[in-house]
Amino acid sequence: RRKIILDCDPGQDDAIAILLAGRHPRLELLGITVVAGNQTLDKTLKNALHVTQHLGLEVPVYAGASRPLVRETQATAGEIHGESGLDGPVFAPLAKKAEEQHGVWYLIETLMASQGDITLVSCGPMTNIALAMRLEPKITSKIKELVFMGGAYGLGNVTPAAEFNFYCDPESARIVLNSGCPMTMMGLDLTAQALCTWETVQRMKKASNKAAELFCDTMSFYLEREGKQYGMQGGPLHDPACIAYLIDPACIKTKPMYVQVDTVQGMNYGRSVCDYYEVMKKKPNVNVAVTLDAPRFWDLVENGIRLYDEE
Ligand code: BDR
Ligand code: CA
């Protein structure tokens, strides 16, 4: 089983990433750290607790950074994910509590105590991870791999140039991308191939368990917003691509590239510049996902939902 820590900002698609990671026999979800992103930290934390409680996952949840590393908060995504950050599902009252320890210290202590066998998954702005790397630089050699959703070699989704997670905290993304740890990137180029449609919702509904319920309630809301905003045939299921890659790497093709994040304030602020054609002749620092086997991905999502069948 591959040990993972999931850093996220739920978020409808983050919720599905938790769902897929929480029960899969190939993964061991050690902990969830939460960051401000899709909504403010109080909301994303509450959402992470609701999702894990709803799914009956006993994983500990830690609150992390409430604002970007350097600049003031410049974006949340209420227009996509709703006022709560996870509009759609109606959850039972919240009994589950967050751990006392700060998420960044949890990351540092857990990684430092490990044998270098923990994979970090990042599905939100990279503030917690950058902070952890600055507080304890030795963690970079302890990270087995960092699999993240963020950036794009093509177009942005929050500005013409930048993807949301990178735009929320470009300085953190830059620190992490320059850290030297092994990295795999699920950018918008890849997640645009993971389009959730109303047919997908109908398909998952048939599983009729609590995971299917969560999937359908979150995606029904998300499809109205994310799907419509970009004129796509559906809503890209961004964050779960990271988990799919860990469960079944063969469903995603990657290409090593040199990637840098633009932190100069201007039109390209937060853009991930990816040297696709290797014109810079620089050593690649990121394995960038390029092609998704979509039918295989959706089978994986359905199987992930059906793992919650027995309860
Ligand atoms: C990313 O931004 C968030 O809104 C999603 O949860 C995903 O992590 C996509 O740009
Ligand atoms: Ca996210």
For residue range 146-164, what is the model confidence (pLDDT) as tens digits? 999 999 999 999 999 999 9
Instruction: Measure the N-to-C terminal CA separation of the chain; round to a whole number of Å.
Output: 22
Q: What is the CA(43)–ligand 2 centre distance, in A?
A: 13
In short, whether 41's Cβ falls inside 6 Å of ligand 1 is no
Q: Residue 227: is its pLDDT beyond 70?
A: no
Q: Give pLDDT tens digits for 243-272.
A: 999 999 999 999 999 999 999 999 999 999
Query: What pLDDT, on the 0 to 100 scale, is given for residue 283?
Result: 97
14 lines ligand 1 (CB under 6 A): yes
The set of residues, in sequence order, having a beta carbon less than 8 Å from that of 55 and lying 6+ positions away, is 18, 19, 22, 23, 210, 211, 214, 308
Q: What is the pLDDT of residue 173?
A: 98
Mutate to test the pocket of ligand 1, among 6, 7, 8, 9 (most ligand atoms within 8 A of CB): 9
Q: Does the Cβ of 118 fall within 6 Å of ligand 1? A: no
Residue with tokens 């013409």: 160
Pick from 123, 186, 232, 271 the residue to mutate for probing ligand 1's pocket: most ligand atoms within 8 Å of its CB: 123
Q: Which two tokens stand for residue 49?
A: 């607790």
- Beta strands of the chain (E only): which ranges? 2-8, 27-34, 61-63, 118-122, 143-149, 183-186, 195-196, 235-236, 252-257, 259-261, 272-274, 286-292
Tokens of residue 185, six digits: 């990137």
pLDDT digits (tens, 9 = 90+) for 50-101: 999 999 999 999 999 999 999 988 878 877 778 888 988 999 999 999 999 9
Q: Which helix (H) or strand (E) holds 106?
A: helix 103-113
Tokens at 214, concatenated? 């969560």
Pairing of strands 252-257, 286-292: antiparallel
Report which ligand 1 atom has the smallest distance to the Cα of 10: 6
Q: Which two tokens stand for residue 78?
A: 């209420």
pLDDT tens-place string over residues 162-208: 999 999 999 999 999 999 999 999 999 999 999 999 999 999 999 99
Which residues partner with 2 through β-bridges?
27
The pair of structure tokens assigned to 308 is 């919650």
With a 6 A CB cut-off, is 164 part of the ligand 1 pocket? Answer: yes
The DSSP bridge partners found for residue 143 are 118
Percentage, residues of the chain above pLDDT 70: 98
The closest-lying atom of ligand 1 relative to the alpha carbon of residue 164 is 10
Question: Residue 20 above 60 pLDDT?
Answer: yes
246 lines ligand 1 (CB under 6 A): no
How far is Cα 54 from Cα 78, in angstroms, rounded to an integer?
22
Distance CA(31)–CA(18), nearest Å, equals 10
Token pair in block for residue 274: 């990816």
Q: Is residue 4 over pLDDT 80?
A: yes
pTM of the model: 0.97
Task: Report how far ligand 1's centroid is from the alpha carbon of 94 (Å).
Answer: 24
Tokens of 4: 């993972």
